[in-house]
Amino acid sequence: MKLAILSDTHGLLRPEVADLLKTADVILHGGDINNQAIADALGQFAPVYFVRGNNDKAWAEAIPHSLTLTLEGMTFYLVHNKKDVPADLTGIDVVIFGHSHKYFQGEKDGILWLNPGSCGPRRFHQEITMMMAELSGKTLQVQKISIAHPVK
């Protein structure tokens, strides 16, 4: 199963991101979608699971602040801000978060922590990034995707 993991799109679906989403079986979004049009556009590519970010206002009231889901036997916990991750992660294999716009991939106490960064408007002089991952049983192979941005 091919996963697209993204966050902090902030109302922008870049053509490069859309091209990658065409190859995904599932999309996991770590929040700050910013509007219903982007949410709807993402849903045209594959089943999409969202959490609500701090910039997702009234339009996103039905979107949960956190979400736990299992895909092919691997359990994912999605939340926008890492500080909102609960202390007890029993049964969780992967934590996906966003908010900082900084790409991160690391392991702690047997749990994989992933922040795909931001693939929306470039902010804070950060890279424009997302993740593509291949899920096979309890194995997740993650690839960092860097998207070029025009130099000003």
Is residue 96 within 8 A of residue 30, CB to CB? The reply is yes
What is the separation of C-alpha 106 from the centre of its chain, rounded to a whole number of angstroms? 15
The model's pLDDT over 50-89, given as tens digits with 9 standing for 90+, comes to 999 999 999 999 999 999 999 999 999 999 999 999 999 9
20-43 exposure pattern, b = at least 16 Cβ within 10 A, e = fewer: bbeebebbbbbbbbbbeebbebbe
8's tokens? 């902090």
The model's pLDDT over 124-142, given as tens digits with 9 standing for 90+, comes to 678 999 999 999 988 999 9
Give yes or no for residue 152 having a pLDDT over 60: no
Residue 149 binned pLDDT confidence (cut-offs 50, 70, 90): confident
- Residue 106 CB coordination number (10 Å): 9
Is residue 9 within 8 A of residue 32, CB to CB? The reply is yes
Per-residue pLDDT at 138: 84
Instruction: Output the average pLDDT for the chain.
Output: 94
Residue 32 CA: distances (Å) to CA of 22, 38, 74, 110, 149:
21, 10, 24, 27, 20
pTM for this structure?
A: 0.95
CATH topology of domain 2-147: Purple Acid Phosphatase; chain A, domain 2 (3.60.21)
The model's pLDDT over 81-98, given as tens digits with 9 standing for 90+, comes to 999 999 999 999 999 999
Per-residue pLDDT at 123: 73
